Amino acid sequence: MTPSSHTAFLPASTRLVVADMDGTLLDGRGRVPDRLWSLLERMTHAGVTFAPASGRQYATLAHMFDRASEGMVFVAENGAYVVRDGQELSSSGLGRDAVVAAVDTLRAFHDDGRADLGVVVCGKRSAYVERGDRGFLDRAEPYYRELARVDDVLEVEDEIVKVAVFDFGDAVAGAAEALTSFRESHQVVVSGKHWVDLMGAGVNKGVAVRRLQERLGITRAETVVFGDYLNDLEMLDEAAGSFAVANAHPEVLERASFRAPSNLDHGVLTTIEELLEARVPHR
């Protein structure tokens, strides 16, 4: 059940705030709202850790938050890679056999004309693509600041954590369908209208948040999470304060315990501000 008011759950004991990026924290132009910077300072002073959680790579997230204070945690690659102050906290690699099988499957699906796909093989150091057309690169570059074009993505030397696919059509009917045979052994998640990610079994944002809580000694009751899309479902379960923004996917609205205003109305920022106010003792 989702209360209509976003003020329904604002515990003074909150120590960890995790927010999805696109469609949740970022504004309508895909930018970090300016109001967030002062809020980050207030959260740090209040002993609250803030963690962006995204399908974007770590290098991209770190660049987007280069104005942030030290101690920030980045849940990157849909939970496959978690970093704090430049140090890895956790990661989940994708075995070479799976990478080869997935890339071969997606190549065949594209070459047969069943979908127009662009494959991104995501490593810890960089992401790698074979397609060099501007139409595809314009879609990939906002998410992968470190992006290298190579002749063969299967020949790169890096620790691979994810295979991402951009589908110029419907990701559910195209890229996700192409990866159907991987669902029993791996994590296949639709992370946007045009993006699908393949990761190791059991890898998702929820597992990453749980590992982060264990590392920081923070409980589920002390955690607030914001999300909007299907790749946020598992991490909503790891927080007593799970918020879906008003513009969220119907399944996310159903799964979350509470609702915040949409990203266009800066719902995450408004809720965090009220959370911080809840931490201030009132006479």
Q: How far apart are CA 195 and CA 204, in angstroms?
A: 15
Q: Per the residue annotation, which of 20, 22, 167, 197 is the catalytic one?
A: 20
User: What is residue 57's three-state secondary structure?
Assistant: coil
Residue 20 is a catalytic residue: yes
Cα angle 22, 236, 203; round to 5? 80
Segment (H or E) for 206: helix 205-216
d(CA 102, CA 81): 20
Give the separation between CA 47 and CA 92, rounded to whole angstroms. 28
CA-based torsion, 60, 215, 186, 253: positive or negative? negative
**Could you report how far apart the first and last alpha carbons of the chain are, in Å?**
33
Q: How far apart are CA 235 and CA 224, in angstroms?
A: 10
**267-278 and 35-45 helices cross at what angle (nearest 10)?**
30
Q: How many CB atoms lie within 10 A of CB 47?
A: 9
Give every strand in the sheet of 195-199, ordered side by side. Answer: 147-149, 127-129, 117-123, 160-167, 195-199, 187-190
Measured in residues, the chain has a length of 283
Q: CA distances (Å), 190 to each of 61, 179, 228, 229, 249, in order?
A: 20, 11, 12, 8, 12
Whole-angstrom Cα distance, residue 144 to residue 224?
A: 27
Please list the active-site residues: 20
